[in-house]
């Protein structure tokens, strides 16, 4: 019997952790539905995204492991989605462990380990640190690298 898996997330700054998650979901079932958090929902959570919802949804939808993308607009819709899409497995990151156990009467709930050493939050921190480097210092570093490259030729 075919199994349908669902997950939820923002999927901002798509990275290898996101891809690993979607691949693992596809190995758990026959159909993978991904609910991508809308910009409005993220704002309500106090979360700022770099990439607009439409683009994030298009990126996720283009991944071969994903069969359907839906918008995540409220916390409460998870219960409705599980019923509406006849979900067999609700899967989400282990950092949410226990938070969605109320769905266990309707489907299997799985909390997955995240890919180590990668997260959107850490990517955003790295970008912030990089952007805080004064322009003149970056230019000096690039000039030094260029001189080194020429010396090695």
Sequence-separated (6 or more) residues with CB below 8 Å from residue 27: none
Do residue 89 and residue 14 come from a single domain?
yes
Residue 119's pLDDT band (cuts 50, 70, 90): low
> What confidence score (pLDDT) does residue 117 get?
72
DSSP code for 92: E
Task: Determine the pLDDT at residue 109.
Answer: 98
Closest among 42, 32, 33, 40 to 12, alpha carbons compared: 42
User: What's the order of all strands across the beta sheet hosting 31-37?
Assistant: 68-72, 31-37, 4-9, 89-93, 108-112
**Predicted TM-score of the model (pTM):** 0.78
Residues spanned by the domain of 135 = 119-153
Overall domain count for the chain: 2
Residue 98: pLDDT above 80?
yes
Q: What is the pLDDT of residues 48-82, one digit of tens each?
A: 888 999 999 999 999 999 999 999 999 999 999 99
Pair 64, 43 in one domain = yes
Q: Which of 23, 45, 83, 84 is an active site residue?
A: 45
Residue 87 sits in the same domain as residue 103: yes
Q: Tell me, yes or no, if 64 is annotated catalytic.
A: no
Q: Catalytic annotation on 94?
A: no
Question: Is there a single domain that holds both residue 92 and residue 40?
Answer: yes
Residues 28, 96 within the same domain: yes
Q: Which residues contact 45 (CB under 8 A, 6 or more apart)?
A: 37
**Chain position carrying tokens 């001189």:** 147
């Amino acid at each position: 019997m075919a199994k349908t898996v669902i997950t939820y997330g923002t999927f901002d700054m798509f990275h290898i952790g996101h891809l690993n998650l979607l691949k693992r979901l596809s190995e758990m079932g026959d159909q993978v539905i991904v609910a991508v958090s809308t910009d409005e929902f993220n704002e309500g959570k106090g979360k700022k995204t770099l990439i607009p919802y439409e683009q994030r949804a298009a990126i996720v939808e283009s991944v071969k492991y994903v069969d359907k993308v839906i918008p995540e607009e409220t916390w409460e819709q998870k219960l409705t989605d599980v019923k509406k899409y006849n979900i067999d497995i609700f899967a989400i990151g282990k950092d949410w462990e226990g938070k969605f156990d109320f769905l266990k009467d309707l489907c299997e709930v799985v909390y997955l380990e995240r890919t180590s050493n990668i997260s959107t939050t850490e990517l955003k921190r790295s970008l912030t640190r990089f952007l805080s480097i004064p322009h003149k210092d970056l230019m000096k570093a690039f000039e030094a690298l260029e001189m080194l490259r020429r010396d090695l030729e």
